[in-house]
Amino acid sequence: MIPIIPGPDPAAAPAPIGLLTVLLVALLPLHLIPMNLALGGGFLAAWAAWRARRAAELEGRHYRALLGSFTTALLVVTAATITFGIAPLLFLQVLYGPLFYTSSVLMAWFWLAVIALLMGGYYSYYAFAFHRRDASPHASLALAGALLLLAVGFLFSNNMTLMLRPERWAAMYAASAHGFHLNVADATHGPRFLHFVTASFAVTGLFVALLARRHRSDDTQQWMQRLGARLFAGATHMQILVGLLFLSSLERPVRDLFLGGNVGDTAVLWCAVALALLATLIVRRRPALAAALTVATIFGMSFVRHRVREAMVAPVFSVADLKVVPQYGPMTIFAIVLLAGIGTLVWMSVRFARAGPSKV
Amino acid sequence: MNFPVWDPPMIGGGILIGIVAILHVFVSHFAVGGGFFLVLTERRAYRDDDRELLSYVKKHSLFFVLVTLVFGAVSGVGIWWTIGLVHPTATSTLIHVFVWAWAIEWVFFLVEIAAALFYYYGWERLDQRTHLAIGWIYAGAAWASLLVINGILTFMLTPGRWLTTHSFWDAYFNPSMLPSLLTRTAVAVALAGLYALLTAAVVEPKALRSRVMRYASLWVLAGCAVIPFSGAWYVSQIPPLAREISMGGAPAVTIFAGLSIALSGLIVVLTYFGPYRRPQETSIVTVATIAFLGLGATGVTEWVREAVRKPYIIYGYMYSNALRLDQLAELNAGGVLAQAKWVTLRDASDPDWQRVGYEIFRTECRSCHTIDGYNGMRLMVKGWREEFVDYQLQHLNELKGFMPPFIGTDPERRALARWLARLGSEKPFSEGLAIADGGTVIRQEEAR
C-alpha cells in the first residue's frame, strides 16, 4: 500500500534537523509579536480614531496622542510581520513540506487569497496613516485593514491545522480537487484561531503601556498606561480560558503531554502561563519587565506549538526520517550575512533614534 | 504524483504563476534599480545644492515606498505561494537545494525593508551623510537579494554540473547565472528610469519637470543599451533545445520572443524622441504609454523565459509534470498509477476506463493542460481517432519537442488514449466524475 502522505523530497535536508527545528521555533516569535501588533493595533487604532472624534475635549486629546504614536508603528509592524514571517515558513517547508504543500493545495484558492487580503490590509493601513496627517483620522480605513488581516490570520490557522490532519485529506480531495476546502470542522481550529486573536489584543495592550512613557504630558501618560495595562490584563485573563479550551480540543495523547505526560512539555507550557499571569500583575508599575516576561511566554508558546505539531502527526510523519546532507559552506555564509545584517539594522536604528524625533 | 494536483477549473496553473510573476518582476526590478536612482539623484542634488531636485527625490521616495514595500514585497511572497500550489514538488526541490540561499536572501530582504523605512522616514530627521548611507544600504541590499534569487531562477533552466555533483555551489554558480544577473541589473536600471519618468511627468515647476525627465530618460536608455549584449550572452548559455523553441521551434514562443525585442526597441525610440529630446512637450500620457510598453516587454520576456524551459521545470532533472528523470525506468516498468498517491485506482486494466484515463491525465498532464479551459485537451484532440492519439502519445517528446514523453506502461497509455479520443467526439466529460462517483482514495489507515 502506498500512503497518501507525500514522501520526503529526494533532495536531502541541507542542515541537521535539530538546527532547522531550532531556527523554526526560535524565529517564529519574531513574526508573532509584530503580527499581534499589526492585528490588535489595527483594531485599537480604529477604535481610537472613532473615539477621538466623539469623545470630550480632554479625552479626545488622549486618543489623538495614542493615534499619533501608533499609526506609523502600524506600518512598521506590518512590514515586520511579513518580513519575519518568511524565515519560519522557509524552515517549515524544509521540515514539513509534505504536510504543508498538501494542505495548501486542498485550500488553494483560500491560501492564494492570503496574498490579496494582505495587500489590501497593508494598503488600508497606509491610507489610514497618510490620511491622518492632515485630516481627522478615518476609523474605517484602520478597521478595514484590521479585518483584512484578521481574515489572513483565519486562513493561516486553517492551513496550519489542516496540515496536521492527514486523516481528513483523502475525503476532502475526493470531494473536490478545486481547492475550496477549509479546516473549520476541526475542533482544534476555532480555539487555536481565537488563541492568536486574543494574544494580539494582549500584546497590543502591552505595547500601549510601553508607549505611554514617550509622552510628556503626565495626564496622557497615565491614561495610556492605564488603557494598555487594562487591555493587556483583560485579554490575558481571557486567554487563560481560550487556552484551556484549546488544550481540551486536542486529542488525548497530545493533550496529555502537557498534563504531566511529558515533564519538559508540561513545565514549559505552565511556566509560560505563569509568566504571562505574573506580567499582568506588574504591568502597571513595570511595563518593561512585563514585556520581557511576555516575550518569554511567547517563546515558550512557540515551543509548545511545535510540540503539539510533532505530537499530532507523530503516528504518520516524523522529521527524524528525513535524509540530511548538511551544506556547511552556505550555512556559514548565512551566519556571516545574518550577523552583518543585524549589525546594519542596529546601526541604522541607533542613528535614527539618536537623530531625535521626526519633525513630521 | 507525490502531491495532490490542484484543479482550478478552466485555469492553468501556468497562467496564475504568470500573472503574479510578471507583476512582481515589473515592480521588484524597479525596487532594485530605484534604490540606486534615489541615492544617486539625492547625492547629485546635494552636490549641486539643487533644492528643487531634492524635493522631487522626496516625492519620488514616497511613490517608491508605496509601490515596492507593499506591492513588491507582498507579490514576491505571492510567487512563492503560487508556485507552491501549482508545482509543490519543484518548489520543494528548490527549497531543499537552496534553503541557505533563501535564508541569506531573507536577511538582505530584511535589511532592504528596514532601510527603505529609515530612508523614507529619515528625510527630515537624519543628516545628509547618514541619509545617503542608508540609501546606499537599501540599494546594496536590494541588489544583493536580486543576486541571490537570480542564481536560483537560472538554476531551473541551466542546472549545469549540479545534475551530477548535487553540490550547492554548482547549483548556484550555474552557466546562465552571470549573464542573467547582468541582464536583470540592466533591466532594473531601465525600469528605475521608467518609473521616475512617471513621477517626473507630474512634477512642478515645468523647468524641473523637463530636467528630471531628461535625466530619467538617460537611465532608461543606459539600461536598454546593455540588454542586447547581456541578452545575447544569456541566450548563448541556455540549452540548445531552449534556443530552438524560442527561434522557430514553437511559433507562439517565437512570436513572443520577437515581441519582447520589438517592444524594447519601441521603448528606446519613444524614450529618446519623447522625454529625452522633447521633455517639455512630453505628457504623462506618453510616459504612461512607455511604462505600459515596459510592462508588456517584461511580461513577454518572462513568459518566453518560462516557456523555453519546457519540457522541464528543472532542466534535465524534473519534467513540467513533476516526474523526475531518475524515476522514468521504474514508472515505465511498473506504471504510474501503481506509484502515484492521490489516485482512486491502481490498475490500468480496470474496466472503468474513463476513470483510469482521467487519473492518468490528472497525474501526468494536469499541471499544464485543462480539459476545457487553458491549453484545453478537448479542443486539441477534436477529430482524433484513438489510434492516432495513441501514436501521438508514443512519440510525444519527438512530435512536440516542448512536451515530456509519455511515462507509464502500455495499458496506461492506451487507457489515456481512449479517454482522450472520446473527449473530443462523444458525450461531455465532467472533470469531477471519476472522484465524485465514490472512488476509494487510498486512506491513511489502509496504508499503515
State pLDDT tens for residues B130-167.
999 999 999 999 999 999 999 999 999 999 999 999 99
- Average the pLDDT over B257-285 and give the result: 93
| pLDDT, position A277 | 97
Closest partner CB to B104 (pick from A112, A167, A337): A337
Residue in A75, A101, A174 nearest the CB of B3: A101
Please give the pLDDT value at position A215: 82
User: Which of residues A218 and B191 earns the better pLDDT score?
Assistant: B191
Hey, how many other C-beta atoms are within 10 angstroms of the C-beta on B398?
9
Question: Average pLDDT, stretch B30-51?
Answer: 97
Report the chain A residue with the minimal C-alpha distance to residue B162: A11
Check whether B442 has a pLDDT greater than 50. no
Closest residue, chain A, to B322 (C-alpha): A9
Q: What is the pLDDT of residue B436?
A: 31
How far is A356 from chain B, CA to nearest CA, in Å?
Answer: 7
User: CA of A7, closest CA in chain B: separation in Å?
Assistant: 7
Of A167, A178, A340, which is closest to B7 when you measure between CB atoms?
A178
Q: What is the mean pLDDT of residues A188-204?
A: 98
Please report, for chain B, the start and end positions of each structural domain, with discontinuous segments joined by +: 13-319, 332-447
Give the residue extent of every domain in chain A: 15-186, 201-314
Give the single-character DSSP code of B441: P
CATH 1.20.1630 fits B13-319, yes or no: yes
Nearest CA distance, B169 vs chain A (angstrom) = 9
Q: Which of residues 101-160 of B touch A (CB under 8 A)?
A: 101-104, 106-111, 113-115, 117-118, 121-122, 124-127, 130, 134, 137, 141
Percent of all residues in chain B with a pLDDT value above 70, rounded to a whole number? 94
> Nearest-CA distance from A166 to chain B in Å?
8
What rounded mean pLDDT belongs to chain A?
Answer: 93
∠ Cα B10 B13 B16 (to 5°)? 95
A330, three cell numbers: 552556505
Return residues 24-43 of A near B (CB < 8 Å).
Answer: none
Beta-sheet strands, E only, within B262-416: 312-314, 318-319
Q: How many CA atoms lie within 13 A of A76 on its CB side?
A: 13
Chain B closest-CA separation from residue A219 CA (Å):
28
Q: What per-residue confidence (pLDDT) applies to B354?
A: 86
**CA atoms of B153 and B64, how far apart (whole Å):** 25
Predicted local distance difference test score (pLDDT) of residue B425: 63
Smallest Cβ distance to A101: which of B71, B84, B107?
A: B84
pLDDT band at A138 (very low <50, low <70, confident <90, very high): confident
What is the C-alpha separation between B121 and A357, in angstroms, rounded?
Answer: 10
| For residues B15-20, average pLDDT | 89
Mapped onto helix, strand or coil, the DSSP state of residue B319 is strand
Task: Annotate B178-232 with DSSP letters as a single string.
Answer: HHHHHHHHHHHHHHHHHHHHHHHTT-SSHHHHHHHHHHHHHHHHHHHHHHHHHHH
Whether A330 and B124 lie within 8 Å, measured CB to CB: no
Burial call A87-122: b when 16+ CB within 10 Å, e when fewer: bbbbbbbbbbbbbbbbbbbbbbebbbebbebbbbbb
Nearest to B137 among A72, A334, A344 (CB): A344
Burial A59-78 (b: 16+ CB within 10 A, else e): eebbbbbbbbbbbebbbbbb
Number of Cβ within a 10 Å radius of residue B172:
21
HEC secondary structure over B230-266: HHHHHHHHCCHHHHHHHHHHCHHHHHHHHHHHHHHHH
Identify which has the larger pLDDT, B429 or A36.
A36
How far, in Å, CA of A108 to CA of A110, rounded?
5
Is the per-residue pLDDT at B36 higher than 60? yes
Cβ-in-10-Å burial (0-12, 13-18, 19+) of B138 comes to buried
C-alpha distances (whole Å) from A263 to each of A8, A251, A275, A305 are: 31, 18, 18, 16
Distance from C-alpha of A226 to C-alpha of A283, rounded to nearest angstrom? 9
A327 contact residues in B (CB cutoff 8 A): 100, 168
Cα–Cα distance for residue pair B30/B190, rounded to 1 Å: 8
Alpha-carbon gap, residue A107 to B26, rounded angstroms: 28
- Find the helix packing angle between A139-162 and A189-211, rounded to 10°: 140
Instruction: Determine the straight-line distance between the first and last CA of chain A, rounded to whole angstroms.
Output: 67
Q: How far apart are CA B398 and CA B249, in angstroms?
A: 12
In angstroms, what separates the C-alpha of A73 from chain B's closest C-alpha? Answer: 11
In B, which residues are within 8 Å of A332 by CB distance? none
* CATH of region B332-447, choose from 3.40.630.30, 1.10.760.10, 3.90.550.10, 1.10.150.120: 1.10.760.10
Do the Cβ atoms of A338 and B3 come within 8 Å?
no
B163 and A CB contact within 8 Å: no
Q: What is the pLDDT of residue B435?
A: 36
pLDDT number for residue A1: 46
Residue from B10, B77, B121, B152 to probe the interface with A (highest A Cβ count within 10 Å): B77
- Tell me the H-state helices in B313-395: 328-334, 336-339, 353-364, 377-380, 386-394
Contacts by residues A211-220 (CB-CB < 8 Å, ≥ 24 positions apart): A211/A66, A211/A69, A211/A70, A211/A73, A212/A287, A213/A287, A214/A69, A215/A65, A215/A69, A217/A65, A219/A58, A219/A62, A220/A61, A220/A62, A220/A65
Q: Does A156 touch chain B (CB under 8 A)?
A: no
The predicted structure's pLDDT at residue A58: 77
pLDDT score of A174 more than 90: no
| H, E, C per residue of A173-207 | HHHCCCCCCCCCCCCCHHHHHHHHHHHHHHHHHHH
If you average pLDDT over residues A203-227, what whole number do you get?
Answer: 91
Summarize the confidence of residues B70-99 as an average pLDDT.
Answer: 96
CA B438 to mean position of chain CA atoms: 38
A236-271 per-position pLDDT tens digit: 999 999 999 999 999 999 999 999 999 999 999 999
Which residue in the set A2, A11, A179 is minimally distant from B6, CB to CB? A179
**Cβ burial B322-360 (10 Å sphere, 16+ → b, else e):** bbbeebeeebbeebbbbbbbbbbbbebebebbbbbbbbb
The predicted model gives B286-305 an average pLDDT of 94
For all residues of chain B together, what is the average pLDDT?
Answer: 90
- B318 vs chain A: nearest CA distance in angstroms? 12
Give CA separation, B367 vs A9, A176, A314, in Å. 19, 17, 31
pLDDT digits (tens, 9 = 90+) for B379-398: 888 889 999 999 999 999 88
Give the number of beta-carbon pairs within 8 Å between A and B: 236
State the pLDDT confidence band at B51, using cuts at 50, 70 and 90.
very high
Nearest to B85 among A1, A112, A171 (CB): A112
Gap from B323 CA to chain A (nearest CA, Å): 12
Calculate mean pLDDT across residues B177-190.
Answer: 97
Residue B395 to residue A1: CA distance in whole angstroms: 32
Residue range A217-224: mean pLDDT, rounded: 88
Asked if the Cβ–Cβ distance from B96 to A9 is below 8 Å, we say: yes
| CB-based contact, A333 to chain B, within 8 Å | yes
Q: Which residue of A has its CA nearest to B324?
A: A10
CB contact under 8 A, B91 and A173: no
pLDDT tens for residues A45-102?
999 999 888 887 778 888 988 888 788 899 999 999 999 999 999 999 999 999 999 9
Residue B274 is classified by DSSP as I
**Identity at B186, one-letter amino acid code:** A
Higher-scoring residue by pLDDT: B383, A332: A332
CB contact under 8 A, B121 and A72: yes
Smallest CA-to-CA distance from B100 within A335, A323, A334 is with: A334
- Whether B184 and B29 have beta carbons less than 8 Å apart is answered as yes
Is B59 touching A (CB cutoff 8 A)?
no
Residues 6+ apart with CB under 8 A from B61: B38, B119, B120, B123
Query: Cα B1 from chain centroid?
Result: 23
| Cross-strand partners of A324 | A13
Residue B333: predicted pLDDT:
95
pLDDT of residue B287 exceeding 60: yes
| Residue B95 contacts A where some CB pair is shorter than 8 Å | yes
